Amino acid sequence: MNVQNRTVFSNDNLPVLRGIDTASVDLIYLDPPFNSNRNYAAPIGSEAAGTAFKDTWTLSDVDNAWHGEIADREPALYQAIHTAELTHSKGMKSYLIMMAVRLLEMKRVLKKTGSIYLHCDPTASHYLKMLMDSVFGKSNFKNEVVWNSATGVKNNVKSRFGRGHDIILFYGMPKSKFNIQYDPLSEEYLKSHYTYTDEDGRRFRADNLNAPGTGGHRYEFLGVTKNWRMTEEQARQWLTEGRIVHQSITPDSRVRIPSYKRYADESMGRPALDNWTDIGALNSQSKESTGYPTQKPVALLERIIKASSNEGDIVLDPFCGCATTCVAAERLQRHWIGIDISPRAVNLVRVRLEYEVGLLGDVIHRTDIPKRSEKLPNYRTHKHTLYGEQEGLCKGCRTQFPFRNMTVDHIVPTSQGGTDHEDNLQLLCGACNSTKGQGTQAELIARLKAQGVLR
């Protein structure tokens, strides 16, 4: 890995991501702007005062070359974005193009054992899922986590239900690690499942000891002969240890077949599901609130980091805001890298890490672009830029074509003194290019009209 642990970059994350070595990161969490059509600013007087970011997108925010890069590297991804433009808007297209070029880089930097969590909301989550399926592979989709982030939110809209959740799209590469997380047993669950109480007040449930199918060990135990899942020796040991419950031992017991006493206080809890209701969103009164707009709770990041990484692993947050991911990763003994375009964010990162985890001098602040150990591909050719400028449409027949079917044409042919300057270049589909031949653009249009291709 060519970037040191505990580095925060103040920069646009695209060039920084492009500078990070391939297959070097274990876990990525990203909480990008959601295309929520809002501009966020931290309140005056808060730790984060002065921090702001824009969350509205137009085509002018998008570099033309990115269209071509996506269409070149991932034609299916480009089509998904095009569909979003048709069904939603050009604004959505611009947002998704901004996201897609970055997701392609995240895929590249992720290890074969890595995982990625994309935090979003229903404004764009359905389009982002198509992007994630294209980039990371639909078979690597793990969960759509619904995080109940509604604390304190009032529903002022009379025409629909209030919106109370964010969505976190979780993808893991085929060999990704996963550590099961457990939810504590709720009172309701304890009441319905742990229905017995011991003499010393400990709650337990009576676990069935039947052997599965026709297997197991057949013998008589406490007057019952059947196929048990444990050996007779094990059964006798549990009996001496007081782990067996049966009416022959406690006459008033309702348990008619000897069963195993599973105590509630020994349970790790229930394996967590994909709807997270136990982690509250922050408000201005929360102890950990810095005032940074859209700050997420550390507990949320801790769950993600614990589930999908181990100590010493590298966690990357390319939209790190006020460093929630970095704080959580530091607490859990993971290595981390944060990137945020806002120069204010890094100061907040420093303050917070010093305050919350006692880290001061150890944070490395960089404003440059890291240098990748391997050779960088050619991300930006005239063809990429032209594809974006023309939004994938041929300059002759005006039909949309995949990147690979486009050819670069000299508007004024070189035989007539035309130069290689970008202003003299355009993209034509193969058919229009051969129709134009050494002719001029006006001649091409006239021919297409004569052929009935254009009106």
Ligand X SMILES: C[S@@+](CC[C@H](N)C(=O)[O-])C[C@H]1O[C@@H](n2cnc3c(N)ncnc32)[C@H](O)[C@@H]1O
Where does this chain bind ligand X (CB under 6 A)? 12-13, 31-33, 53, 292, 294-296, 319, 321-322, 324, 339-342, 345
- The distance of closest approach from Cβ of residue 251 to ligand X in the complex, given in angstroms and rounded to an integer, is 59
Q: Alpha helices, DSSP H only, in 319-440?
A: 324-331, 343-357, 382-389, 430-436
CB of residue 189 to ligand X, shortest distance in Å: 31
CB of 159 to ligand X, least distance (A): 27
DSSP string, 20-59: SPTT-EEEEEE------SEEEEPPTTSTTTT-EEEE---G
Residue labelled with tokens 């991300």 = 379
Instruction: Specify the residue, 9 or 204, whose C-beta has the smaller distance to ligand X.
Output: 9
Q: What is the 3-state secondary structure (H, E, C) of 177-218?
A: CCCCCEECCCHHHHHHHCCEECCCCCEEEEECCECCCCCCEE
Please identify, using beta-carbon distances, which residue of 258 and 293 lies nearer to ligand X: 293
Which of 144, 140, 135 lies closest to 172, judged by CA?
A: 140
Q: Which is nearer to ligand X, 32 or 392 (CB)?
A: 32
Taking the complex as a whole, how short is the minimal distance between the CB of residue 362 and ligand X, in angstroms? 20
Q: Pick the closer one to ligand X by CB: 339 or 448.
A: 339
Per DSSP, 410 falls in state E
Q: Where are the beta strands (DSSP E) in 369-442?
A: 406-410, 425-429
Are the beta carbons of 211 and 302 closer than 8 angstroms? no
- 175, burial (CB in 10 Å: exposed 0-12, middle 13-18, buried 19+): exposed
Segment holding 87, helix H or strand E: helix 75-87
- Cα(249)–Cα(241) distance, rounded to whole angstroms? 13
In angstroms, give the least distance from the CB of 349 to ligand X: 9
- C-beta of 323: minimal distance to ligand X in Å? 7
**CB of 323 or CB of 429, closer to ligand X:** 323
Nearer to ligand X, 307 or 323 (CB): 323
Beta strand ranges found along 36-184 (DSSP E): 38-41, 52-55, 110-120, 141-148, 165-172, 182-183
Measured from the CB of residue 287, what is the shortest distance to ligand X in angstroms?
Answer: 15
Q: Rounded distance, CA 116 to CA 136, Å?
A: 9
Rounded to the nearest whole angstrom, what is the least distance from the CB of residue 38 to ligand X in the complex? 11
Residue 33 CB, nearest approach to ligand X (Å):
5
Among 93, 51, 95, 97, CA closest to 74: 97
With respect to ligand X, which residue has the nearer C-beta, 185 or 346? 346
Q: How far is the CB of 63 from ligand X (least distance, A)?
A: 11
3-state secondary structure of 270: strand
Nearer Cβ to ligand X (306/447):
306
Nearest distance in Å: CB 209, ligand X: 48
**Of the two residues 125 and 294, which places its CB atom closer to ligand X in the complex?**
294
Backbone angles phi, psi at 221, to 5 degrees: -135, 120
Widest CA span in the chain: 106
Strands 314-317 and 25-30: what pairing? parallel
Q: Which is nearer to ligand X, 209 or 327 (CB)?
A: 327
Residue nearest to ligand X (CB): 321
- Which of residues 297 and 392 has its CB atom nearest to ligand X in the complex? 297
Q: CA nearest 409: which of 391, 378, 431? A: 431
